[in-house]
Amino acid sequence: MQKARLHVNFSGAVQGVGFRFTVKRISEQYEVTGFVKNLPNGEVEVVAEGDREVVEGFTDAIRNGILNDYIRKVKKEWEPATGEYKKFEIKF
């Protein structure tokens, strides 16, 4: 399978609602590495690496799960995987 990196910015009511912690919990069900963090502009950034299909499943689970009520806009950008992450974590 092809390794890939997906850079996603979620906007809406995504800060102050446990979004990052829920994304972290979802990540434990998928073989992905990377991070989730709040941005100063009110968005939440997710960078995930792994097999492309697994990364797609992970981000679909975020988008279509309980977090969907908070999300208003999603910006996705696929990039080559770098292998720089060893786990998935919350960045503060």
9, 25, 38, 52: the active-site residue: 38
What is the rounded distance in angstroms from the CA atom of residue 34 to the CA atom of residue 45?
11
Q: Where are the alpha helices (DSSP H) in 4-88?
A: 19-27, 52-64
Q: Is 72 in the active site?
A: no
Q: Is 38 in the active site?
A: yes
5, 9, 20, 25: the active-site residue: 20
Dihedral sign for Cα atoms in the order 81, 15, 21, 17: negative
List, by residue number, the catalytic residues.
20, 38
